[in-house]
Amino acid sequence: MEKLLKISEFNLILKYAFRDLVRNYRKIFSIILTLFISLFILSAILTIEDSLKKELNDNAKSLLGGDVEIDYNRVQGNLELVDKVREFTTVSSMVEFTTMVSGINDTNQSLFTRIKTVDKKYPLYGEVIHEPVGAMDRIHQEKNTIIVNENIFKTLDLKVNEKIKVQNQLFTVVGVIKSLPDVSGFVAFGDFAITSKETLDLLKLNSLGSFLNYEYKVKFNDGDNTKVTRNKIKEIFKDDLTVRLRYPENSASGLRRVIDNFSQFLSLVSISAMLIAGIGIANTLLSFINQSNMSIAVKKALGFFSLNIKTIYYLQLLILLTFVSVASYALSFLLVPVADVYLSEGLGLNIKPLFSLTNFIKIFLVGMLVLIIFSIPTINAIDQVKASNLFRNVFQNLQFYYSKKSIFVSLLFLTALMMLFVIGSARPLYSLIYFLAFFICLIVFFLLSKFIVFLLKSLKNMSNIPLKVSIKNITQTKGITPITIMSLGLGVTLLLTLALVGTNFKREIAKSIPEIAPDYFFIGIQNSDRDLFESTIIEMDSNAKLEIVPLVATGIVKINGIDPRTYIKKDNNSYWVIGSDRRSSWAAEVPEDNPITEGKWWDLSKPNKLQISLDSEVAKDFNIKLGDIFTLNIYGREIEGKIVNFRAVDYRDLSINFAMLFNPEFASTIPHEYLATAKFE
């Protein structure tokens, strides 16, 4: 018989593989179960993620609120240009702002709320699901009426037609919002409410300046060419530097990032579990091969080469993997309706199971790579079995067998497994670091196992026979002690890591945050009211810790003359700084909790020049150097400022922090309002 496999030989090997698998499937049931659980978890993650992304893509227009969004942010914008768009499309205008909503009943609570003021055309796509019927009509027909989301309704213990206070105005709650079509920002993760555009004037619009957002949603007419109509709108606004056009493909970007990050985290946890399970699979497979020791010897006596027998075992694993992959992927569809219950309630998204050949292939490849990596040293042990064993009345205990070639092949497959997760992940660098940390832990536990064996071997003169035998089994040269310690160590490390992260996060929210967080936030304090506000707080509590800072909305238009959005990617950690307008402030002295890391404080000899102090992390992420020029959009005017220093900003301390601070000699002349925090003794 030639060593190379022929068709007839392969058919015979395939026949043996099926026969042995049917006979011995009970012996390898633990392999089947372990593989199924690992692949089922990964399948569920990929299936739910895919279903979510499809839902977001299919409802992109509803999520954005139109075919195009014209965003003027804090200013009303050029209404003449908006009217030109109205000539060939349907336009719905809205204003969003953030303020405090307070109950006037016994609850005496306040909630930070994002309020949408909408016209009668809203929504252009989708529908607002609310109770009772007719509530949306009432906000347009009756003054001072509002619809709130379920959390506000429950927290403030409200009833329909009960009143709440928005700023200094009383509003009647006429309904409860179950879900909105345009899910984004606060609507996705915070409290929100809807009122009519006509009631906006009652809230003293000028007192909300820094927290306003003017938006115009555009719906194309049926039959309009999307590309042509988009270009037509772009042409209208080409000279307006204050406007930002958004399209359906950019909708719910924050929600998409959350999904990507959460999916990546769960995927890495699942592959860690699979690698840990792979160690157990290797042990089980070795035990199974040891039980088949005589059967292997018989096959070799009949003329089978080691390669033929190895092929039988690899085929058995491949057959198992095929059935387990199909079962785990199919059953993962059952979890989608469960996830849909929570998503439909919280975000108004309705997801359905979606078959993806790409996902199935990925699941199959992951399972195959894990099986191959951990079965190579096990199946290679077959080389240790000799046909002559049949003539000896002895049992040969097989051990993991490594050669330079097998180690190289294992590392090759391991690299392929890592690349499978790293290349397709939202944050490739994080995935790579995670894998490196995982294998460092693996090495640590391997060295720990050697240290434990060394310590146990040093124990001598023991009279306890069972203990002596136990130590002998643990310390034998080819024992499974290293494998066992690595498997248990990694498993416990993973569980402890998840538990510690969860516990610390809960403790931070429950204990640490309340201790350092201010008791109250005050927004929209006008220049004329600042002194009165400060004196009122001091009268209430002379020991109150009060912090008042000026506030102005700014947008970074250019960095060194180039639009940063053209070269800074959205997955950049500091993209939020340029993604939309940010609130900035100024200070005469270096803030105590914002030490300078590079550069010098303000150059007082240049009071007429804008100087900027930048968060050092933002500078690092954007590759900003001292002396670089930022072009800022401040109330429709473009002003250039020079970066003069970097600060270490810790946003976790819950004090008032800003990515950018300006020199007060220049900035104090800019129209502004104040933000304040107060913590009482």
Element (H, E) at 612: strand 610-615
Is beta strand 169-179 parallel, antiparallel or unpaired with respect to 145-149? Answer: parallel
Instruction: Based on the fold, state whether residues 363 and 256 are members of the same structural domain.
Output: yes
pLDDT at 4 exceeding the cut of 50 = no
- Span 255-280, average pLDDT: 77
Highest mean pLDDT among 64-78, 459-473, 476-490: 64-78
Q: Pick from 245, 257, 246: which is nearest to 64 by CA?
A: 246
Sign of CA dihedral 647, 210, 153, 60: negative
* Residues 663, 589 contacting (CB under 8 angstroms): no
Is 443 part of any domain?
yes
Q: Which residues pair with 193 in a beta bridge?
A: 115, 148
Residue 384 CA from chain centroid, whole number: 49
User: How many Cα neighbours within 13 Å face the side chain of 83?
Assistant: 3
Which residues are within 8 A (CB) of 97 and not within 5 positions of it... i.e. 6 or more apart? 114, 115, 117, 203, 208, 211, 212, 213
Is 589 part of any domain?
yes
- Span 484-505, average pLDDT: 80
What is the rounded distance in angstroms from the CA atom of residue 530 to the CA atom of residue 668? 14
pLDDT in tens, 107-151: 668 888 888 889 999 989 888 888 998 899 999 888 889 999 888
Is pLDDT larger for residue 64 or for residue 349? 64
Question: Could you say which of 213, 240, 271 is where a domain stops?
Answer: 213
- Span 599-610, average pLDDT: 90
Instruction: Based on the fold, state whether residues 491 and 401 are members of the same structural domain.
Output: no
pLDDT in tens, 163-176: 998 877 889 999 99
Q: Pick from 112, 119, 154: which is nearest to 139 by CA?
A: 119
Instruction: Based on the fold, state whether residues 551 and 504 are members of the same structural domain.
Output: no
Is 276 part of any domain?
yes
pLDDT at 327 exceeding the cut of 50 = yes
Mean pLDDT of all residues belonging to the chain: 82
Length of the chain (residues): 681
Q: What is the DSSP string of 535-586?
A: HHHHHH-TT-EEEEEEEEEEEEEEETTB-GGGTS-TTSTTTHHHHS-EEEEE
What is the rounded distance in angstroms from the CA atom of residue 41 to the CA atom of residue 271? 9
Question: Could you say which of 516, 548, 565 is where a domain stops?
Answer: 516
pLDDT of residue 104: 82
Instruction: Based on the fold, state whether residues 304 and 422 are members of the same structural domain.
Output: yes
| Phi-psi domain of 283 (left: phi exceeds 0; alpha: psi -120 through 50; beta: other) | alpha
Is pLDDT larger for residue 186 or for residue 679? 679
Q: Pick from 370, 678, 675, 460: which is nearest to 549 by CA?
A: 675
> Where do we find the tokens 């894990």?
370
Is pLDDT larger for residue 121 or for residue 13? 121
pLDDT at 1 exceeding the cut of 50 = no
pLDDT band at 648 (very low <50, low <70, confident <90, very high): very high
Is 435 part of any domain?
yes
pLDDT at 184 exceeding the cut of 70 = no
Is pLDDT larger for residue 16 or for residue 613? 613
Is pLDDT larger for residue 622 or for residue 499? 622
Instruction: Based on the fold, state whether residues 508 and 591 are members of the same structural domain.
Output: no
Q: What is the DSSP letter of 610?
A: E
Instruction: Based on the fold, state whether residues 504 and 602 are members of the same structural domain.
Output: no
What is the rounded distance in angstroms from the CA atom of residue 72 to the CA atom of residue 85? 15
Which residues are within 8 A (CB) of 6 and not within 5 positions of it... i.e. 6 or more apart? none
Per the structure, the count of domains in the chain is: 4
* Residues 494, 445 contacting (CB under 8 angstroms): no
Is 222 part of any domain?
no
At 641 the three-state DSSP class reads strand
Element (H, E) at 596: strand 596-599
pLDDT of residue 420: 84
pLDDT of residue 378: 84
Is beta strand 212-219 parallel, antiparallel or unpaired with respect to 163-166? Answer: unpaired
- Span 465-493, average pLDDT: 76
Q: What percent of the chain has pLDDT over 90?
A: 17
pLDDT band at 3 (very low <50, low <70, confident <90, very high): very low
pLDDT at 208 exceeding the cut of 60 = no
pLDDT of residue 462: 72
pLDDT of residue 301: 78
- Span 471-487, average pLDDT: 73
- What are the residue ranges of helices labelled H in 59-97? 60-64, 79-86
Which tokens go with 502?
């969860």
Q: What is the DSSP string of 171-186?
A: EEEEEEEEE-SS--HH
Instruction: Based on the fold, state whether residues 419 and 481 are members of the same structural domain.
Output: no
Is pLDDT larger for residue 171 or for residue 488? 171
Give the gyration radius of the chain's Cα atoms: 33
Instruction: Based on the fold, state whether residues 543 and 616 are members of the same structural domain.
Output: yes
Q: Does residue 132 have a cis bond before it (omega within 30 degrees)?
A: yes
pLDDT of residue 622: 92
What is the rounded distance in angstroms from the CA atom of residue 69 to the CA atom of residue 269? 38
For residue 15, give its domain range: 1-63+251-388+397-426
Question: Could you say which of 213, 228, 262 is where a domain stops?
Answer: 213
Instruction: Based on the fold, state whether residues 469 and 567 are members of the same structural domain.
Output: no
Is 225 part of any domain?
no
* Residues 379, 58 contacting (CB under 8 angstroms): no
Instruction: Based on the fold, state whether residues 542 and 504 are members of the same structural domain.
Output: no
Is pLDDT larger for residue 74 or for residue 457? 457
What is the rounded distance in angstroms from the CA atom of residue 556 to the CA atom of residue 563? 8
Instruction: Based on the fold, state whether residues 603 and 525 are members of the same structural domain.
Output: yes
pLDDT in tens, 28-81: 777 888 888 888 988 988 888 888 888 878 878 888 888 998 988 777 888 899
Highest mean pLDDT among 197-206, 275-284, 513-522: 275-284
Instruction: Based on the fold, state whether residues 203 and 331 are members of the same structural domain.
Output: no
* Residues 184, 349 contacting (CB under 8 angstroms): no
Which residues are within 8 A (CB) of 376 and not within 5 positions of it... i.e. 6 or more apart? 406, 409, 410
Is 246 part of any domain?
no
Phi, psi at residue 555, to the nearest 5°? -130, 135
Is 239 part of any domain?
no
Q: Which residues pair with 637 in a beta bridge?
A: 634
What is the rounded distance in angstroms from the CA atom of residue 613 to the CA atom of residue 615? 7
Is beta strand 110-118 parallel, antiparallel or unpaired with respect to 191-196? Answer: parallel
- Span 268-282, average pLDDT: 79
Share in percent of the chain as helix, strand, coil (round to 5): 55, 20, 30
